[in-house]
Structure 1
Amino acid sequence: MADTVTARQGDTLDLILHRDRGLGPEAIGDVLSANPGLAALGPVLPAGIKIIIPTAAASAPATRPLLQLWD
């Protein structure tokens, strides 16, 4: 299963992933694999293009343990 997101004017792939799904740059490779030809469109995507975000990329990002400076 995968989610679909529509690009708006001026959107980049990393902006869409962060804004719409809370994902970081580690998800870009999975998204590009699921969308052949997407990289050929350039860094700024055309408005209205549908982007498939695979479930593996859409899973919750890993969290870091909280660092306590003082006990």
Structure 2
Amino acid sequence: MATTFEEVKVAGEFITIDLLVWRRFKRRADGIVDRILMANPELATAGAYLPVGTIVKIPIDAPTPGAVQVEAIRLWS
């Protein structure tokens, strides 16, 4: 299945890839930053903050969050 991307232009200062993901999906999405870096290899050399005017391809579909199992800790057995 091919991934569809939308292009977003960085319009402010101190914008990171994580912030773009948060603004797009309103949650943390595992693996989405890796997908963005694969679609935009030049971003890896841009530094922590993206330069104003940079065009970033962001996947339209976010990975579905997986169920996280947490083991209960019992203080007294």
Please, what TM-score do these two structures have when normalized by structure 2?
Answer: 0.66
Q: 1:37 aligns with which of 42, 56, 60?
A: 42
Tell me the secondary structure at the aligned position of residue 37 of structure 1. Answer: helix
State the Cα RMSD in Å.
Answer: 2.2
Question: Shift in Å at residue 64 of structure 1?
Answer: 5.1
1:35-66: per-residue Cα shift (whole Å, max 9, x none)?
011010000010111100124xx33632659x
Structure showing greater radius of gyration is 2
Percent of aligned pairs with the same residue?
27
How do residues 1-71 of structure 1 correspond to structure 2 at under 5 angstroms?
1-7=4-10, 8-24=12-28, 26=30, 27-55=32-60, 58-59=61-62, 61-62=64-65
Query: Which amino acid in the other structure matches residue 2 of structure 1?
Result: F
Please list every run of at least 4 consecutive aligned residues from structure 1 whose deviation after the TM superposition is greater than 3 angstroms.
none
Number of matched pairs: 63
Gaps of 5+ in 1: 66-71
Between Structure 1 and Structure 2, the one with more helix by share is: 1
Deviation at 1:23, TM superposition (A): 4.5
TM-score in terms of structure 1 length: 0.70
Contact persistence 1:14–1:25 (CA under 8 A): no
